[in-house]
A and B are shown apart, each in its own frame.
Chain A
Amino acid sequence: MSNEHAANGHGHADPHAHGADHGHGHDDHIHPAPTNPLFKYVFSTDHKVIGIQFLFSGLIFFVVGGLLAMAIRWQLAWPWKPMPFMARFMPSWAENGYLMPPEWYNKLFTMHGSVMIFFVIIPLLTGAFGNFLIPLMIGARDMAFPKLNMFSYWFMPPAMIAMANAFMVPGGAPESGWTSYPTLSNSFTSTPGSYEAQTWWLISLLFAGVSSLMGSINYITTIIMLRAPGMKLFRMPMTVWALFITAILQAFALPVLTSALVMQLLDRVAGTNFFSPAGWVVANGPAVVGGGLPLLWQHLFWFYSHPAVYIMILPGMGMVSDIIATFSRKPLFGYKPMVFAIAGIAGLGFIVWGHHMFQSGMNPALGATFMLSTMMIALPSAIKVFNWLGTMWGGRLQFTSSMLNAISFVAMFIIGGLSGIFMAATPVDMHIHDTYFIVAHIHYVLFGGSTFAIFAAIIFWFPKMFGRMMNEPLGKLHFLLTFIFFNGTFFLMHIIGMHGHPRRIADPTVYEYLRGTGTMGLNQFMTLSAFGLGLSQLIFAFNFLYSIFAGPKAPANPWHANSLEWVATDSPPPYFNFEKIPTVYHAPYEYSVPGMENDYVPQTQPLPEPTAHTVVEKA
């Protein structure tokens, strides 16, 4: 234990507490918890409260996004059939016999994608789990900048209000997809949703982006500065590593998105012409001066949004690594290679954005280089999969509902990763680009991957968040149904995608080759599965809400895990997290150490000498 203090520094520490008796943590002073509920629960600076705020708002928007998806699926299976329930809410549809107007379909998938990505997956992974877990897992009393942290949450409501407002303005919700390509998005006349709502969409994302940026700065600083004594970088849990690298990705990529959003906003409200060609007219609107390039937006957007897709998966990978190791009762296989793989994904993630633009009119020679980097990014993903399998191999697997969700993360991510290779191959992408094959890929990584990881993580850390356990049988039932209906909904999209079914079309039956019972039958099957998938989430919602109030009280370490949030504090942890800042002796993966009575060795407990020796050598 020579260099315990190697990379340590604690914000609230007394300088002299650092010296002689570091083994027993810091003797720091702790501010009293606020008693005013307004500051305790609403404008709180406590990272745990902020994490839970992100969790609740993320789950609420998950419901919104999910309902939008149901409407999308209805239209695809039974185009232009009056939608159940909707007539009551949409008086303006009366003239149409309560059929969905065609632009409504575009509004639905635009809002579905935007909500799920910007208000659900990213805030849940980085906002909820990043906030809640980072300080607890590294042994800090709070984030480095608690006020900034509070602001990072309170920048989300304006984003949500702007997005909700977009439904209400003349012309209705935006219609240019979550990707918002000009010149559809920056000219008022192109489609009803671009009349006004697009502006609100841009404002909304600007707020959401600033929120993420504040969060990521906080995470980076906290992880660098506030680790407990002994918490060397290579002793951090994979969850923290993943959130750390994600935060770096965000900090570097978000400014580009922000600039792009501002540019499109200026195009729309200030008459600039970043994205419109000279003298351009759309749908008999007024001519603009122009001189801009539509492809510029795509470059800027994907320069952010490709890293963003990894922002949406890396934290999941980290949490799943911890969950799988815990429930395999076995050390994580290849800890360092796993870290390097994440770092590799993050690094390569900045040079692959062009794979979204293979057919965009970008120079095809440039496409070839993006193809190569994209192929290479599949490699670290593969390495991670092998290491997860290696972790389970020889373990003593406990199929808790959290573990089941984590395993299916691995199983489903394999499918999403492999379909990525088809699209990375530029000529094959020529056929499947903008078809349902892409939609299948997205959902295997973002639902099969990230969302299963979120389920696993919610169940896993629920005891720490709320001091109670979730119900296991209900958790398993929810997992079983979700797994079945998820595959029923999305696997066959590969098939209709390779058959050429375009994405983002309101009515496939316009095309002869999609009209047959083969394709439309699959569409109907997928829609029914989707309804099943939606309904299954009620089980989770019930389990979640019921357990918050009436679940059995959770012990401090219900899963017999090793990391600090379990072994050094209560469930839920007190204000400022730890009675005493713990001291860390090893990485959190010492399970089933031979010759020990328990099958786990908390990070706060030194390893027996001979084992400690071999671990150091291997590390």
Chain B
Amino acid sequence: MRYWSLLFALAAIISVGIFAYAPISPEWWLPAGPNVSAGHLHSVSSAGKQIDSLFVIILLITGIVFIGTQVALVYATYFFVDKGPNGRKASYFHGSQRLEVIWTIIPAAILVFIALYQMGTWASVKFRSAAPKVQPLAQVTARQFQWVIRYPGEDGKLETKDDLFMVNDLHFVKGKQALIYLKSSDVLHSFFLPALRIKQDAVPGLTIPVWFDTDQAGHYELVCAELCGWGHYKMRGNVTVHETQEEFDQWLQSALKEQSRDQVAAVVTGSQGR
């Protein structure tokens, strides 16, 4: 009968094993930047680095708690099993005030520690007061099922006549804070950059600033993370991070020239995405 405890032991061991293996495998861990070999353990954005280290700290703390409780559970189910009428009797006690106090205060302290420890990161990635004081990179309007991205044109200002409209194509520069204004023109969507750990819902009627950066140039993916209708699964955007500002400017110039702006602009300015 006591061998049932081995089932619980096995489940716990496999669980720990999976999380021990995860960091070795890029596909099992937090998503890496385009250049995976450069140590995929850490995100390529400054917010992401903080988030990853928080994740790891919480993983370690919860891992210890997990192992401790599972060991206790397996121990109890192995050693305190009923051994028939001639076995030992169960001990008779109703609890222990001392233990209750101990196992209330210690977890409370740990939880408060986690709570306070992560507050700074949260403030720096989301509080509006922490938004970088830079020219906005673009206005991103989510609609079923695409990302309409409006960059300032020659004049460097948004909402002017020379703006550049792109669909599902986000560009910014390595090592620089990019600030976008996020909107929706129909239903909820969510702007999710997995490699940068950035996520923000796009809400009908609200304009929400979102900022991010990365230290690796290359191609990334933009994901819609909030259910937005039948085509939600394919609401994917391309993200290109340019090595230098010059490279970005060049891209912007050529895109401005090329843009079949009248078509796209008509769609967007005609809707609520302004």
Q: 7 A-B Cβ contacts within 8 A?
A: A276-B204, A333-B95, A361-B203, A368-B122, A394-B91, A495-B22, A618-B95
Q: Report Cα–Cα, A507/B224, bound state, in Å.
A: 13
Residue interface bits A601-619, CB-to-B below 8 A is 1, else 0: 0000000000000010011
Distance between Cα atoms of A427 and B122 in the complex (Å): 5
Task: Please tell me which one of the listed residues B14, B70, B201 contacts residue A414 in the complex, with CB atoms under 8 A apart.
Answer: B70
The answer to whether B92 and A361 touch across the interface, beta carbons within 8 angstroms, is no
How big is the A interface, by class?
35 or more
Shortest Cβ distance from B123 into chain A, in angstroms?
8
B155 in the interface (beta carbon within 8 A): no
Contact B230 A192 (CB under 8 A): yes
The answer to whether B199 touches A396, judged by C-beta atoms less than 8 angstroms apart, is no
Those of A3-49 within 8 Å (CB) of chain B: none
Q: Is B39 an interface residue (CB 8 A)?
A: no
Q: Does B38 lie at the interface of the complex (its beta carbon under 8 Å from any beta carbon of A)?
A: no
Question: Which 10 pairs across A and B sit closest by C-beta, in order of nearness?
Answer: A518-B27, A277-B205, A500-B194, A103-B230, A364-B126, A191-B229, A334-B95, A394-B91, A505-B233, A592-B90
A608 to chain B, nearest CB (A): 12
Q: Which residues of chain B have C-beta atoms less than 8 A from A367's C-beta?
A: 122, 126
Contact A375 B204 (CB under 8 A): no
Give the nearest-CB partner of A488 in chain B: B14
The answer to whether B257 has its CB under 8 Å from any CB of chain A is no
> CA of A507 to CA of B234 in the docked complex: distance in angstroms?
8
B233-250 interface (Cβ within 8 A of A): 233-234, 236
Given known A-B contacts A329-B82, A335-B95, A507 and B103 have beta carbons under 8 A apart: no
Chain B residue with the shortest CB-CB distance to A105: B233
A283 to B186 alpha-carbon distance, docked (Å): 7
A385 close to chain B: CB less than 8 A: yes
Which residues of A are in contact with B by a Cβ distance under 8 Å? Answer: 101-103, 105-106, 175-177, 181-184, 187, 190-192, 276-283, 293-295, 328-337, 359-361, 364-365, 367-368, 371-372, 375-376, 378-379, 382-383, 385-387, 389-390, 392-399, 404, 407-408, 410-411, 414-415, 418-419, 421-422, 424-428, 430-431, 433-435, 480, 483, 487, 491-492, 494-495, 498-500, 502, 504-507, 510-513, 516-519, 589, 591-594, 599, 615, 618-619
Contact A410 B73 (CB under 8 A): yes
**Are A184 and B127 in contact, CB atoms less than 8 angstroms apart?**
no
B48 contacts which chain A residues (CB < 8 A)?
431
The answer to whether B99 and A434 touch across the interface, beta carbons within 8 angstroms, is: no
Q: Would A393 and B76 count as touching, CB distance under 8 A?
A: yes
B94 sits at the interface (CB 8 A)? yes
Residues of chain B within 8 A of A389, CB atoms compared: 69, 72-73, 76
Q: Measuring CB to CB, which residues of chain B are less than 8 angstroms from any residue of chain A?
A: 1, 4, 7-8, 11-12, 14-15, 18-19, 22, 25-31, 47-48, 50-51, 54-55, 58-59, 61-62, 65-66, 69-70, 72-73, 76-77, 80-83, 87-96, 99-100, 103-104, 107-108, 111-112, 114-115, 118-119, 121-123, 125-128, 144, 186-188, 190, 192, 194-195, 197-201, 203-206, 208, 221, 223-234, 236, 271-272
A431 B194 Cβ-Cβ under 8 A: yes
A421 touches B121 (CB 8 A): no
CA distance A407 to B231 in the complex (A): 42
Bound CA span A393–B1, Å: 16
Residues of B within 8 A of A382 (CB): 65, 103, 107
What separation, in Å, do the CA atoms of A26 and B141 have in the docked complex? 71
Cα distance A184–B187 when bound, in Å? 5
Contact yes or no, B99 A491, CB < 8 A: no
Across-interface contacts of B236 in A (CB, < 8 A): 510-511
Whether A511 pairs with B90 at a CB distance below 8 angstroms is no
B103 engages A480 (CB within 8 Å): no
Q: Which residue of the partner chain, among B29, B54, B94, B108, contacts A499 with CB atoms under 8 Å?
A: B29
Q: Among A101, A364, A410, find the residue whose CB has the most chain B CB atoms closer than 10 A.
A: A364
Query: Inside 8 A of A480's CB, which chain B residues have their CB?
Result: 7
- A430-B51, A433-B225 known, 17 other contacts, Cβ within 8 Å: A183-B204, A187-B187, A330-B90, A331-B92, A331-B94, A333-B93, A333-B94, A337-B95, A337-B100, A379-B108, A399-B81, A414-B66, A421-B114, A434-B190, A483-B11, A491-B15, A591-B92
B225 touches A434 (CB 8 A): yes
Cα–Cα, bound, A392→B82 (Å): 11
Do A190 and B8 form a contact, CB below 8 Å, given A361-B206, A364-B126, A504-B232?
A: no
Q: Which residues on B sit within 8 Å (CB–CB) of A329? A: 82, 90
Query: Which of A177, A333, A378, A430 has the most CB atoms of chain B within a 10 A radius of its CB?
Result: A430
* Distance, CA A615 to CA B192, complexed state (A): 57
User: Nearest Cβ in chain B — how far from A54, in angstroms?
Assistant: 31
Q: Tell me whether A392 and B80 are in contact (CB under 8 A).
A: yes
Q: Which residues of A contact B100 (CB under 8 A)?
A: 334, 337, 383, 387
Q: Closest chain A residue to B271 by CB distance? A: A281
With A and B bound together, what is the CA distance between A368 and B27 in angstroms?
A: 31
